Structure 1
Amino acid sequence: MTTKHRLITDSFKVVKKARRGGKREKRSTPPPPQKEAETDTVRQEELQKLRQFDLDWRFGPCTGISRLQRWERAQLHGLNPPEEIRELLLKTHIDPEYKLSLWSEYPL
């Protein structure tokens, strides 16, 4: 007495669905625009300048205040902070990565 092993596919009819729109051609992905890479490098250079400003002890401590406040305090005390830093901070005052100092993530 041999039993015949049945497969589940023996009980159900195989139905193949037609593709919509026929065969699709593979499209190559376009190369990323160069402007994004250029703006990224500009951003990294600007942030590096701001980090150097944070690390320059001549302009006083930078914990607990924004970079612009530190620049203004240094100017008030006649320490002659770089005007380039002020212009950069005013241009990008909304972005917290520009606004806050290097040490802002550390608790006081």
Structure 2
Amino acid sequence: MGRKRLITDSYPVVKRREGPAGHSKGELAPEPGEEPQSPSGDVDEEELELLRQFDLAWQYGPCTGITRLQRWHRAEQLGLDPPPKVHQVLQTHPGDPRFQCRSDHQYPL
């Protein structure tokens, strides 16, 4: 009868070379044109987390197809009292898509 065949029997074992010095296996390379992390990375992360929480807050209306700032203004016009801290963060980073667009903006609808 013989032993039961495994899927790994069909493929050769490939040993990988060690990467260049300083290369971490789980670390992603920065996107082209993306700036390296600034020393204020902790502050940026706190601000981005605040914006993610704003994205998930259903009481300010849907967020598909508009920027965070447009959503904030719409919520303000409707009298929904969006957090003023969110508006301050959005005003301090006017051209940065990490702050202006939702985290899933790069995925098509």
Scaled to the shorter chain, the TM-score interval is 0.5 to 0.7
Structure 2 unpaired stretches of 5+: 1-37
Aligned to 1:102: 103
SS at match of 2:44: helix
- Report the equivalent of 1:67: 68
Shift of 1:93: 1.2
What is the match of residue 41 of structure 2? 40
Q: Which has the higher contact order (CA 8 A, sep 6+)?
A: 1
Q: State the number of aligned residues.
A: 72
Q: Percent identity?
A: 47
TM-score w.r.t. the length of structure 1 is: 0.63
Deviation at 1:102, TM superposition (A): 2.6
Provide the residue aligned with 2:57 in structure 1.
56
Counterpart-to-counterpart distance in 2, 1:98 and 1:106: 16
Give the CA RMSD over aligned residues: 1.2
| TM superposition score normalised by structure 2 | 0.63
After the TM superposition, list the runs of 4 or more consecutive aligned residues in structure 1 that deviate by more than 4 angstroms: none
